[in-house]
């Protein structure tokens, strides 16, 4: 089976004009963020006239990392290692009231 060739834009100049996400075109950052987190579906329309529907939902506990953070922590392992090192320096809580020392 022959694989379809896909190329992703590498710069803004490589993007097609119909992909303009600027505010001037009415784009709103985060407009669908909440709905995306709650789950979404993707419908793929095939050349033979059939459709394939896939449903996606982030697993409980899943965290979305912003692109600027992803540059420094590109994998789950890197994120977990960094967070564990922070946990080690957080002062322990005292008593049931939750007050820190």
The encoded tokens of residue 52 equal: 């394939």
| pLDDT in the model for residue 19 | 72
| pLDDT in the model for residue 85 | 94
Residue recorded with tokens 């392992």: 77
| pLDDT in the model for residue 5 | 57
> How far from 62 is each of 53, 57, 76, CA to CA, in Å?
23, 10, 10
Pairing of strands 93-94, 99-100: antiparallel
| pLDDT in the model for residue 77 | 93
101 CB-near residues (< 8 Å, 6+ apart): 91, 92, 94
For the entire predicted model, the pTM comes to 0.40
| pLDDT in the model for residue 3 | 55
| pLDDT in the model for residue 37 | 76
| pLDDT in the model for residue 58 | 78
Ranges under pLDDT 70 in the chain: 1-13, 20-27, 93-101
| pLDDT in the model for residue 101 | 47
Q: CA 13, CA 36: separation in Å to the nearest integer?
A: 28
- Give the DSSP H/E element, type plus range, for residue 68: helix 67-70
The encoded tokens of residue 24 equal: 């001037």
Sorted by where each begins, the domain ranges of the chain are 30-93
């Amino acid at each position: 089976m022959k694989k379809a060739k896909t190329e992703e834009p590498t710069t803004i100049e490589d993007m097609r004009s119909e992909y303009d996400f600027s505010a001037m075109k009415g784009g709103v950052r985060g407009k669908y963020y909440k709905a995306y987190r709650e789950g979404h579906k993707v419908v793929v329309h095939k050349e033979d006239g059939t459709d394939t529907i896939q449903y996606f939902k982030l697993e409980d506990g899943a965290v979305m990392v912003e692109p600027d953070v992803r540059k420094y922590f590109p994998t789950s392992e890197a994120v977990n290692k960094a967070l564990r090192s922070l946990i080690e320096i957080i002062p322990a809580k005292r008593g049931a009231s939750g007050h820190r020392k």
